[in-house]
Amino acid sequence: MRQNISRRGFLKSASLLALGGTLLNVARVVPAASKGLRLGRGQVFSYDALIKRAADMAKAPYQSPPKPRPDIVQQIDYEAWGNIRFRPDYALFADGPSAYPVTFFHVGQFFQKSVKMHVLEHGVAREILYSPDYFSMPKDSIARKLPNDTGFAGFRLQESRKRDDWRTQDWIAFLGASYFRAIGALGQYGLSARGVVVDCAEPTPEEFPDFTEFFIEGAQKENHPVSIYALLNGPSLTGAYRFSIRRTEGVIQDVEAVLFLRKDVARLGLAPLTSMYWFSEAEKRQREDWRPEVHDSDGLAIWNGNGERLWRPLINQPFAVTSSFADKGPKGFGLMQRDRSFENYLDGVNYERRPSLWVEPLDDWGPGAVQLVELPTDDEIHDNIVAYWRPEAPARAGESYRLRYRLHWLADEPYPAHVARCVATRIGRGGQPGKPRPKGVYKFSVEFAGAALDPLWGDTVKAEPVVTASSGTISDAFIEPVPGTRRWRAIFDLTPNGSDPVELRLYIRGNGDALTETWLFQFRERPTA
């Protein structure tokens, strides 16, 4: 995955750039996509040329993206920003030729940097020039004081023009730093993806590189890919991205990224995902909230290079905690929302419909680790979960990385395992009902569901839980069916030895074979109220 970009690619880019003067006459033709929008002068574009730009930028000092009139933008708070809406009639591709129109976000208090937008047709890119006329806003909006060259904060793809509701329904959005998100198969936004992670959960402040320019090439038909190209810039690195995005049952997004490091990076995270987890059935504290559960994702799933399926329930940690799952050539990983029962949320914000997001490497990523960062939170407004791939080799200045992967924004994993999966983790006091409960002993009930457990209903399979702990003592382990369901649960008691966290590992074995994925959990004692 880590490699030097070939000289042939640079030469190809240089050749295309040299043709610019010849092709600019063609570029002056007004494209069909531009109705109602003001466009800049045409420039020849290629992905190879974008890669060269990123490589050249990495050799120069970092320059932050422009922030138009910070004194005004800072006053466009969340409520004021929400009242500024892009007029659909001005949408890029509103009348074709692409199947999916594009609308744009205004700058505001939380999105203060302006991002250049370009429409790309027939290898020619034209910048989409900002105008306040594109937006409807209240007459007294502070945004009316911004200059005419303010620029946009981001963009989103609307549903197909064949749909009557395309003006109000979108399916993928790029907004803020290098963040982007898409709806899943259940038609709801939730967690986000990012271009890259730089020094997350390090002693030094995290760095948030920006997508500073986008080049948008429409899809001629529904189900055909929309191509998005993006230039990334940050104090420690630069990058060029190519997204091929298809609107399917959910959203499928092929990503190609080339990164160049300006500086050493202590923690480089590739193909990162960001989500929110407050509490679930596993660890809700007394009187924390009236709802049973609140989370965009409830666990990290990993299909490692050896073929083992792992499930790590998310935890609202008391402080920043990073867990590392070493691997070589992973088959995939993702932040999943497995609990789809409305009764477990009882909220109108549709947590039961939030998408799961799976990362599928499209080439060999070599040795490294899937890392999970869990930050503490006391509310649902904070994204406190990050998962990404960290290469084993140190990230040094002058290095370059090229990687390809596919993002699956769906309701579930795109490649279901043949073993049963974990569907609930419950923790309580250890010991037996009706008897004095021993202090400092905790009971775990881990529920599994799937066809692989069907033989347990007969007498042909001898099954048992396989439980290990990094410290402490495991006792009273057994399995039993969950009444009224087709689920089985593994139950055991843990007696910790000291205050250090305990790494737990569990699966159900039948006739010598694993019948379930491997459940992982990091347990630490903490106050219950």
**Residue 2 forms beta bridges with which residues?**
401
Q: Please tell me the predicted confidence (pLDDT) of residue 33.
A: 63
Pairing of strands 210-217, 116-121: parallel
Q: Assess contact for 421 and 449: CB atoms under 8 A.
A: yes
* Residue of 440, 444, 443 whose CA lies nearest to 499: 440
393-410 burial, b at 16+ Cβ within 10 Å, e below that, comes to eebeeebbbbbbbbbbbb
CB contact at 8 A, 88 and 102 = no
Which amino acid, one-letter code, is at 48?
D
Lowest mean pLDDT among 206-220, 237-251, 317-331, 433-447: 433-447
Phi-psi region of 99 (alpha: psi -120 to 50; beta: other; left: phi over 0): alpha
The CATH number for 421-523, chosen from 1.20.120.1200, 1.10.10.10, 2.60.40.10, 3.30.365.10, is 2.60.40.10
pLDDT, residue 163, reads 95
pLDDT on residue 264 = 98
Find the angle CA(404)-CA(97)-CA(136) to the nearest 5 degrees.
95
Distance CA 424, CA 175 (A): 33
Phi and psi, residue 26, nearest 5°: -65, -35
Distance CA 522, CA 44 (A): 53
CA 349 to CA 278: how far, in whole Å?
15
pLDDT at 527: 59
Intra-chain end-to-end CA distance of the chain, in Å:
47
Please report where in the chains the tokens 């409305």 appear, as a residue. 342
* Interatomic CA distance for residues 232 and 258, integer angstroms: 10
What pLDDT is recorded for position 34?
61
Q: 445 falls in which pLDDT band (50, 70, 90)?
A: very high
Q: Considering all CA atoms of the chain, what is the largest pairwise distance in Å, rounded to the nearest integer?
A: 88
Q: Average pLDDT for residues 303-319, to the nearest whole number?
A: 97
Paired with 323 in beta bridges are 372
d(CA 313, CA 336): 10
Measured torsion, CA atoms of residues 187, 188, 192, 193, in degrees rounded to the nearest 10? 0
CA 506 – CA 527 distance, rounded (Å): 25
Beta carbons of 206 and 200 less than 8 angstroms apart = yes
In DSSP terms, 253 is beta-bridged to 245, 407
How far apart are alpha carbons 243 and 448 in whole angstroms?
Answer: 36
Characterize 238-250 residue by residue with b for buried, 16 or more Cβ atoms within 10 angstroms of its Cβ, and e for exposed: bbbbbbbbebeeb
Q: What is the 3-state secondary structure (H, E, C) of 202-222?
A: CCCCCECCEEEEEEEECCCCC
pTM across the whole model: 0.92
For residues 25 and 210, which has the higher predicted lDDT (pLDDT)? 210
Q: Give the pLDDT confidence of 52-70 residue by residue, as tens digits.
A: 999 999 999 999 999 999 9
H/E stretch holding 256: strand 251-261
Report whether 193 contacts 272 (CB < 8 A): yes
In whole angstroms, what is the distance from residue 391 CA to residue 364 CA? 11
- The answer to whether the beta carbons of residues 472 and 496 sit under 8 Å apart is yes
31 or 424: which carries more pLDDT confidence?
424
- In 3D space, the residue among 291, 277, 269 whose CA is nearest the CA of residue 382 turns out to be 277
User: 309-313 and 518-523: which strand pairing?
Assistant: parallel
For domain 7-410, the CATH architecture is Distorted Sandwich (2.70)
Sign of the alpha-carbon torsion through 25, 31, 36, 40? negative
- Residue 310's nearest CA partner among 444, 505, 464 is 505
Tell me phi and psi for residue 380, to 5 degrees.
-85, 0
Q: How confident is the model at residue 525 (pLDDT cuts 50, 70, 90)?
A: confident
Among 23-32, 182-191, 320-329, 372-381, the range scoring the smallest mean pLDDT is 23-32
pLDDT higher than threshold 50 for residue 523: yes
How confident is residue 29, by pLDDT bands cut at 50, 70 and 90? very low
30-66: burial string, b at 16+ Cβ within 10 Å, e else: ebebeeebebeebbbbbbbbbbbbbbebbeeeeeebe
Mean pLDDT, the chain, as a whole number? 92
Q: Measuring CA to CA, which residue among 96, 133, 127 is closest to residue 114?
A: 127
In 411-423, which positions are buried (b, 16+ CB within 10 angstroms) versus exposed (e)?
A: bbbeeebebbbbb
Answer whether residue 19 shows pLDDT above 50.
no
Domain ranges of the chain: 7-410, 421-523
Q: What is the DSSP string of 25-90?
A: HHHTSPPGGGTT-EE---EE--HHHHHHHHHHHHTS---PPP---HHHHTT--HHHHHT-EE-GGG
Give the tens place of pLDDT for each residue, 119-145: 999 999 999 999 999 999 999 999 999
Distances in Å between the Cα of 522 and the Cα atoms of 68, 122, 150, 261, 518 are 45, 53, 48, 34, 13
Neighbours of 223 (CB within 10 A): 10
348 has pLDDT over 70? yes
At 454, list the tokens: 């069907």
